[in-house]
Amino acid sequence: MNANLSSTFQPRLRQNRDTQIAVVPSSVKYAGQMEMCHQLAYGYTLADITSDVEAGEALTADKFRQHLAIFPQGQFIALDKATDRVVGLTVSMRVDLKTHDAAKSWAELTNDG
């Protein structure tokens, strides 16, 4: 993202005012809920992890905090406004595939998240 754009980037809610779900920038306040949301979406718990590969792919609260520290403009959550609960999230990264091997796993490309 252009440095000028990132410094002036101000997300605007575009949902109907009647909706209970809002898409908002992620916050470290919600890192634990983001971890749980990811586990529910992919059907695992941290107790299920039996290998280093699985551990590298699991997104923990610490990894979400790291994402926010590195690229806060690209992280969003779907938040139930009535309960202040995370009900969805984005996990993304921008990679120049000419420089990186696209066949690598998320953990390998991101140095374990």
pLDDT per residue as tens digits for the range 29-64: 999 999 999 999 988 888 888 777 677 778 899 999
Q: Residue 15 — pLDDT band, cuts 50, 70, 90? A: low
Provide the angle, in degrees to the nearest 10, between the axes of the packed helices 61-70 and 31-42. 120
For the chain, the domains span 17-109
- Structure token pair of residue 38: 């990811």
Report the Cα 9 to chain-centroid distance in Å. 18
Which among 1, 47, 31 has a CA at the least distance from the CA of 91? 31
**Residue 49: exposure state from Cβ atoms within 10 A (0-12, 13-18, ≥19):** middle
**DSSP label of 50:** -
Q: Residue 18 — pLDDT band, cuts 50, 70, 90? A: low
What per-residue confidence (pLDDT) applies to 11? 54
Q: Which helix (H) or strand (E) holds 56?
A: helix 52-57
Q: Residue 110 — pLDDT band, cuts 50, 70, 90? A: low
Which of the two residues, 83 and 48, has the higher pLDDT score?
A: 83
What per-residue confidence (pLDDT) applies to 27? 94
* Interacting residues of 22 by C-beta distance below 8 A, sequence separation 6+: 13, 15, 78, 79, 81
Distances (CA, A) of 39 to 2, 14, 61: 33, 28, 11
- pLDDT > 90: what percent of the chain? 32
What per-residue confidence (pLDDT) applies to 78? 94
